[in-house]
């Protein structure tokens, strides 16, 4: 573990300093989420950093309302159309 010093509003400290393991995991996962969303690190790498399984991280993010895949309705329709096309051309 590393010790990091951060400047933050005093009222935020109470929430950040939770001793509960689950709270610490959620906090650290939330710190990593923007890097996953931007494609800087993968879910697998984030899970490694946190010391948990990738599926557990995906489940945690899902519970927090953060999607594993971010796709528009149009992108989903395109993917479904491709699957339908492949089903037609492949025996």
pLDDT greater than 80 at residue 42 = yes
In terms of pLDDT, which residue wins out, 76 or 42? 42
What pLDDT does residue 31 have? 93
Nearest alpha-carbon partner for 4 in 26, 20, 28: 28
Calculate mean pLDDT across residues 61-69: 91
The percentage of residues in the chain with a pLDDT greater than 90, rounded to a whole number, is 47
8 SS3 class = coil
> From CA 16, how far away is CA 20, in angstroms rounded?
11
> From CA 63, how far away is CA 59, in angstroms rounded?
6
What pLDDT does residue 73 have? 83
> From CA 69, how far away is CA 36, in angstroms rounded?
11
What pLDDT does residue 18 have? 75
């Amino acid at each position: 573990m590393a010790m990091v010093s951060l400047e933050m509003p005093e009222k935020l400290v109470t929430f950040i300093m939770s001793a509960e393991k689950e709270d610490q995991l959620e906090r650290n996962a939330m710190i990593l989420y923007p890097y996953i969303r931007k494609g800087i690190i993968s879910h697998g790498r984030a899970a490694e950093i946190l010391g948990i399984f990738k599926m557990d991280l995906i489940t945690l993010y899902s519970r927090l309302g953060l999607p594993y895949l971010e796709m528009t309705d149009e992108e989903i329709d395109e993917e479904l159309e491709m699957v339908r096309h492949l089903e037609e051309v492949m025996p």
